[in-house]
Amino acid sequence: MSFSTEWEDCYKAKRQVNNWPFTDLISTYYQYARLEKGAPILEMGFGTAPNATFFNTIGLNYHGIEGSESAVTYATKKYPELKDRLALADFTKEIPFDKKFKLIFDRGSLSHNSSKALERCAELIYDHLTDDGVFIGIDWFSSSSDLVDKGVYKSKDKRTMTQMHEGCAANLGEVHFSDKMDLMEIFHKFKFIMITHKIINHEYPLPAHKDARWDFVIHKS
């Protein structure tokens, strides 16, 4: 595994155990990718699988890839029926399922990787989507976020920080900050359908700070 082992430390210590699906993912799915029951879908970086709960409920054929062994063990205990569809792997290196998906998505996962790794990952996603397939990205870190100077730039990669010491990404390995052009360059092979820049000013508790993230939807063709 080449991505940060800090995620494994985090789940081993039972931090970030999420069990509720993320609202922006659900609303984006309903607006842009309603699929018929049984359609194969893939989540990149499922963590403790909060989003699997939702997609199982609506009858989709959920698959996931996750790089933390502890998170995979947690999710497999929660969903034993998904055992063969929850893979332990680095999704910037391989998608270890021998099939194509109607929908591939990530919620806060891809942007924990370097620029180079994201380029490779975009190729893998392209190859594993059906021709009418959709990719949904939710909660990609924006370069307008106050988090942007809370770490150290990875050498030669001016978009990726490590050693974050504050905020939601502290001690969680690499954090890639995107602007709109960056998203378009990473996914240059795809057709963009929607891009939303979410800027949230947290006023209290102090210190007040600005969180900025991207949601986007792209089609393979």
Interaction site with ligand SAM (CB under 6 A): 3, 7, 18, 22, 45-47, 50-51, 65-68, 71, 90-92, 107-109, 112-113
Q: What are phi and psi of 173, to 5 degrees?
A: 70, -135
DSSP string covering the chain: --S-THHHHHHHTT-S---S--HHHHHHHHHH----TT-EEEEES-TT-HHHHHHHHTT-EEEEEES-HHHHHHHHHH-GGGGGGEEES-TTT----SS-EEEEEEES-GGGS-HHHHHHHHHHHHHHEEEEEEEEEEEEEBTTSGGGGSSEEETTEEEEEES--SSTTTTSS-EE-B-HHHHHHHTTTSEEEEEEEEEEEE-SSSSPEEEEEEEEEEE--
Minimum distance from CB of 105 to ligand SAM (Å)? 9
Minimum distance from CB of 75 to ligand SAM (Å)? 10
Minimum distance from CB of 51 to ligand SAM (Å)? 6
Q: What is the sign of the dihedral through the CA atoms of 188, 194, 199 and 200?
A: negative
Is the omega angle on the peptide bond into residue 21 within 30 degrees of 0, that is, cis? no
Q: Is the CB of 109 or the CB of 160 nearer to ligand SAM?
A: 109
Q: Is the CB of 109 or the CB of 115 nearer to ligand SAM?
A: 109
14 contact partners, CB below 8 Å, separation of at least 6: none
Minimum distance from CB of 169 to ligand SAM (Å)? 8
Minimum distance from CB of 61 to ligand SAM (Å)? 18
Q: Is the CB of 203 or the CB of 211 nearer to ligand SAM?
A: 211
Q: Is the CB of 191 or the CB of 216 nearer to ligand SAM?
A: 216
Q: Is the CB of 169 or the CB of 218 nearer to ligand SAM?
A: 169
Q: Is the CB of 23 or the CB of 206 nearer to ligand SAM?
A: 23
Minimum distance from CB of 65 to ligand SAM (Å)? 6
